[in-house]
């Protein structure tokens, strides 16, 4: 349970105890008085789930992103919350909010840039502070610090109250998806990566990082369903860097995964992609929404494969999906509204582009480019809209 859920549960318990005391003092219960059976609980209203792209703070000691986080902390440690504040209105209002943590956390100032990217653990506290409930942690950088990096990262997320999936300290942890409770629904989150940048999986710990394998993903999704998941969300680190369009492997895997069913019910309800460092299209495949690439939510100046600074590396979207309960138990929860919210990481801050444009910022060309890419594979005809 997330910190938000703990606080809500505590408040609800207090309210119920107060109400119960009042009823005992003034009114007999319907059962005691022989009155009518209480009405059944109201049906669930459904829930909203939001997901965002790579949290990739360039971690070289003099990186502008780290310098900004240090300045925002007043010189003591690092504070990434001001960077993420532009996303907070969307993230904090969601019932379930999922991020993607591309890097692992170093300790005691042991931070570094590419190729071994180590970030400060204070990132976890900032993600929790603006409302994120969980993160996918399966990445090509998951083993940049070996098993020590997995442990330091997951320990920091645990301390911040942020769930995680995709890398693990123990085999039992690897076998269990992250689970969120959202207005009557159990939401399972699974995560996988295409590779680990040449780092071998630790000897005796093949479960330390979850690698993309179609059969394993389907088996894990079915296992999550058997454990009570009403909605199964899969995060995939896949695709070709700096490419707006999904590549052949993304298209093939999305078709195969969304076609997988058990007793006529899809095994996977939503696919969230990262890795390309640029926004990629959304598409409904076999009736299931697929986000091929969310882009980078936090990233410094990015250099593409040709060696040039590429501003697309600081662009991203937040996907927001509203799920409604089925008419009959055991059927699929349906996405009744699908939205994307364009963002840019600008001058050390996540910027909601629609909000910035409404306030007079000259960012319409960036917003429009992201929109054109997101809708490129016909998602608008299936109901995808730009949210605010």
Q: Domain ranges in the chain?
A: 43-386
What totals of helices (H) and strands (E) does the chain contain, helices first?
11, 19
Answer yes or no: is pLDDT of 8 > 50: no
- Write phi, then psi, for 19 (nearest 5 degrees): -65, -40
CA 228 to chain centre: 20
* Cα–Cα distance list, 108 to 31, 111, 152, 375, 377 (Å): 61, 8, 11, 44, 45
Distance CA 248, CA 157 (A): 34
Class of the domain covering 43-386? alpha beta
Buried b (16+ CB within 10 A) or exposed e, 303-332: eeeeeeebebbbbbbbbbbbbebeeeeeeb
Distance CA 368, CA 340 (A): 12
In total, the chain counts a number of residues equal to: 388
Answer yes or no: is pLDDT of 32 > 90: no
Q: Average pLDDT in the 191-204 region?
A: 97
In terms of pLDDT, which residue wins out, 326 or 44?
Answer: 326
**How many C-beta neighbours within 10 Å does residue 259 have?**
15
Q: What is the pLDDT of residues 94-146, one digit of tens each?
A: 999 999 999 999 877 778 777 778 899 999 999 999 999 999 999 999 999 99
Answer yes or no: is pLDDT of 59 > 50: yes
pTM of the model as a whole: 0.88
Mean pLDDT of all residues belonging to the chain: 89
Q: What is the pLDDT of residues 234-283, one digit of tens each?
A: 999 999 999 999 999 999 999 999 999 999 999 999 999 999 999 999 99
Distance CA 309, CA 303 (A): 4
Q: Mean pLDDT lowest for which of 5-9, 30-34, 46-50?
A: 30-34
Q: DSSP of 68-112, one letter per residue?
A: HHHHHTTTSS---HHHHGGGHHHHHTSSEEEEEE-SEE-STT--B
């Amino acid at each position: 349970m997330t910190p938000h859920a703990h606080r809500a549960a505590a408040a609800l318990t207090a309210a119920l105890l107060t109400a119960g005391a009042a009823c005992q003092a003034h009114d007999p219960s319907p059962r005691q008085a022989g009155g009518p059976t209480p009405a059944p609980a109201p049906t669930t209203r459904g829930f909203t789930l939001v997901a965002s792209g790579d949290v990739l703070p360039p971690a070289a000691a003099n990186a502008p992103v780290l310098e900004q986080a240090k300045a925002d902390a007043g010189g003591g440690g690092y504070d990434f919350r001001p960077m993420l504040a532009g996303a907070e209105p969307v993230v904090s209002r969601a019932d379930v909010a999922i991020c993607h943590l591309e890097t692992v956390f170093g300790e005691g100032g042991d931070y570094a840039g590419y190729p071994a990217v180590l970030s400060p653990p204070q990132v976890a506290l900032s993600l929790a502070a603006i409302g994120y409930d969980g993160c996918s942690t399966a990445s090509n950088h998951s083993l940049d610090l070996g098993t020590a990096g997995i442990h330091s990262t997951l320990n920091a997320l645990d301390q911040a109250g942020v769930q995680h999936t995709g890398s693990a300290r123990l085999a039992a942890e690897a076998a269990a998806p992250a689970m969120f409770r959202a207005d009557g629904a159990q939401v399972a989150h699974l995560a996988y990566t295409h590779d680990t940048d040449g780092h071998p999986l630790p000897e005796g710990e093949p479960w330390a990082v979850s690698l993309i394998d179609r059969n394993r993903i389907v088996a894990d999704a079915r296992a999550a369903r058997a454990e009570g998941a009403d909605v199964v969300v899969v995060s995939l680190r896949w695709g070709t860097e700096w490419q707006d369009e999904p590549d052949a492997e993304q298209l093939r895997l999305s078709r195969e995964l969304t076609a997988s069913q058990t007793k006529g019910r899809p095994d996977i309800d939503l696919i969230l992609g990262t890795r390309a460092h640029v926004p990629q299209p959304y598409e409904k495949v076999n009736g299931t929404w697929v986000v091929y690439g969310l882009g980078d939510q936090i990233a410094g100046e990015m250099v593409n494969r040709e060696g040039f600074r590429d501003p697309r590396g600081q662009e991203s979207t937040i996907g927001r999906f509203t799920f409604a309960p089925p008419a009959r138990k055991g059927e699929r929860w349906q996405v009744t509204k699908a939205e994307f919210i364009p963002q840019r990481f600008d001058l050390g801050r996540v910027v909601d582009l629609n909000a910035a444009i409404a306030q007079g910022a000259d960012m319409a060309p960036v917003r429009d480019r992201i929109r054109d890419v997101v809708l490129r594979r016909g998602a608008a005809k299936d109901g995808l809209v730009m949210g605010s």
